[in-house]
Amino acid sequence: MRKEHWDNIYSTKAMAEVSWFQEIPETSLELIKRVAKNKDASIIDVGGGDGFLVDELIQLGYNNITVLDISENAINKAKQRLGDIAKNVKWIISDITEFNSTEKYDVWHDRAVFHFLTEDSDIEKYKNLVNVNVKNNGHFILATFADNGPDKCSGLFVSKYSNKEQAVKFKDYFTPLDSFNYEHSTPFGTTQNFTFSVFNKNNN
């Protein structure tokens, strides 16, 4: 059901007609640049959709980028926009709870996938997944709706997290390095409250 929902969103709405649209994802870019000094760093953007983060990372010279999204429609839009450059990106179409990879990443970036997981079993799958697939001493950048954020997005209920709640949720595997609240301005003239955190993977 999740796949059908998101395929429908990306087939019926233009890029600037979704609340999460950012012409330049400045906050995510700054955090990635902070933790990925080497342009060869392996970076996965979970739930990247047809957003511009991948474009900006390529322009900055990063050359080992993976974009994962549940929606084939979203991935296809991004590929079409990038043209020939798209072949330099690894594209994965998968529900995050069904993602299975042997690759380990230096940076795992997730702006607004984790908060769509509302079942305990899916949350545990995600926690194990990010632990397995992030290298020791690698970094996990997470953005979710804050505890004073919206209850629903794109017609779906979400889980909301404070800075402390994010840290507690991932404490078994990750140490928080930074955490802050962020007000996202939507294309509709409204604001959404997010919690951003940067974690370092524990050696285990």
The Cα–Cα gap between 15 and 49 comes to 10
* Separation in Å, CA 72 to CA 16, 67, 77, 97, 161: 18, 12, 9, 16, 28
**Core vs surface per residue 39-57: b (16+ CB within 10 A) or e:** eebbbbbbbbbbbbbbbbb
Each residue's pLDDT expressed in tens, for the chain with a length of 204 residues: 666 655 565 556 555 545 545 678 999 999 999 999 999 999 999 999 888 999 999 999 999 999 999 999 989 999 999 999 999 999 999 999 999 988 999 999 999 899 999 999 999 999 999 999 999 999 999 999 999 887 877 777 789 999 999 999 999 999 999 999 988 777 667 788 999 999 999 875
Half-sphere exposure of 127 (CA within 13 A, CB side): 15
* Separation in Å, CA 14 to CA 54, 74, 184: 18, 11, 19
- Say what the pLDDT of residue 107 is: 98
The Cα–Cα gap between 157 and 198 comes to 24
Residue with tokens 């991004």: 78
**Within a 10 A sphere around the Cβ of 155, how many other Cβ atoms?**
8
Q: Rounded to two decimals, what is the model's pTM?
A: 0.91
